[in-house]
Amino acid sequence: MIFGNAEFMDMPFEPIIKAFRGSALSCTRSRLVDYADAFFEYLECHVSVDDETANSHVQRTFISAMSPLVRSAFEKLLKSKLKRNEQVADKMGALFVEEVRAKVTEVQTKPDCPTFDGITAEELSRTYADQVVAALTELTSDEPPSSEVQGAMNTVATEYIGLHLKKNVFSGQSTGIAFAGFDKQEQFPSLYVYDTEGLIMGRVKRGLIDSVPISPVGQRGHIAALAQDDVVKRYVEGIDPRLSRDIGTSLRKAMGGFGEALAEEWFKGKKRQPSEAACH
């Protein structure tokens, strides 16, 4: 089953899956996860992708990953005031740089994607620097910033694409792939769900989202909510996920404020004690 982006490097998944079924890699295997590995091997070795498509894919991935940061920078631009003689494009570019730097700091803490063992984020940045610069140049073509600001944008964006590809994070261009069925060695089914993001340096970027083995002594059943999962989770868990998140956020804020108020009152009491003692 697939969800999310229904294409792999500009090709629909359906004919690719059909071709995989007829290939030697689709032979009988002892474990379900081996079928998943075989399918990803097929994507890497038997799906023909030209350089133009590969480069275009990286550009789309980059734009998809940057879209939330661009929106955030634009919202800040609307609330900010320009300095004397400051151009709107330069201000927007500077805010974009701030957003990307913050995102770089966040993504650096994420685990590496196993796909790129032996390849560093710096190598990935160098490999796709031209695609990133071309995408940014196109995005700012209507109202380009100064060369200095554009240079800063290119630098942080190039650093980010290397991290994004290296780390176990995925953009809106990703495809979810679920493998479900019975192992040859097991009497009960299992499920493996992956997030994938196309071919990068000849390798299929993938990360395991979920794995569920069913057994009489362990997990006896499972309802998997894939793609747009809010309705399924509302039915299974009894509450809308967004409402659950909002309640959790409100509680954390309330408890945080309560703790700060207690600390403030405690310090006020400590400060009053010497003066009270002096009065007596």
Query: How would you label 68-92 residue by residue, b for 16+ Cβ within 10 Å and e otherwise?
Result: ebbebbeeeeeeeeeeeeeeebbbb
Supply the pLDDT for residue 272.
Answer: 57
Q: Give the residue-averaged pLDDT of 52-81.
A: 92
pLDDT of residue 271: 59
Least confident residue range of 15-29, 34-48, 127-141, 257-271? 257-271
For residue 150 the two structure tokens come to 């554009």
pLDDT at 37: 94
The CA distance from 61 to 174, in Å, is 8
The dihedral over CA atoms of 186, 190, 193, 194, expressed in degrees to the nearest 10, equals -10
DSSP bridge partners of 3: 176
Average pLDDT (190-210) is 94
Give the burial class of 62: count Cβ atoms within 10 A of its Cβ; 0-12 exposed, 13-18 middle, 19 or more buried. Answer: buried
Q: What pLDDT does 203 receive?
A: 93
- pLDDT by residue (tens digit) across 87-144? 899 999 999 999 999 999 999 999 999 999 999 999 999 999 999 999 999 888 888 9
Q: What pLDDT score was predicted for residue 254?
A: 83
Report the pLDDT averaged over residues 246-261.
83
Query: What is the rounded distance in angstroms from the CA atom of residue 173 to the CA atom of residue 234?
Result: 26
Q: Are 191 and 178 in contact (CB under 8 A)?
A: yes
Residue 216's pLDDT band, with cuts at 50, 70 and 90, is: confident
Phi, psi of 185 (to 5 degrees): -90, -10
pLDDT class of 171 with cuts at 50, 70, 90? very high
pLDDT of residue 252: 84
Q: What is the dihedral of CA 257, 263, 267, 270, to 10 degrees?
A: 140
Residue 31 is encoded by which pair of tokens? Answer: 């474990």
Would you state the torsion angle of the CA atoms of residues 237, 242, 243, 245, taken in this order, to the nearest 10 degrees?
90
pLDDT at 278 over 70: no
The proportion of the chain whose per-residue pLDDT surpasses 90, expressed as a percent, equals 61
Give the global pTM.
0.77
Does pLDDT of 274 surpass 70? no
Q: Looking at residue 275, what is its pLDDT?
A: 52
- Whether the Cβ atoms of residue 122 and residue 214 lie closer than 8 Å to each other: no
Q: What is the DSSP string of 174-217?
A: -EEEEEEEE-SS-SSEEEEEEEEEEEETTEEEEEEEEEEE--TT
Q: Which residue has the higher pLDDT, 247 or 83?
A: 247
Q: How far lies 80's CA from each of 95, 102, 150, in Å? A: 10, 19, 20
Return the minimum-mean-pLDDT range out of 11-15, 95-99, 217-221. Answer: 217-221
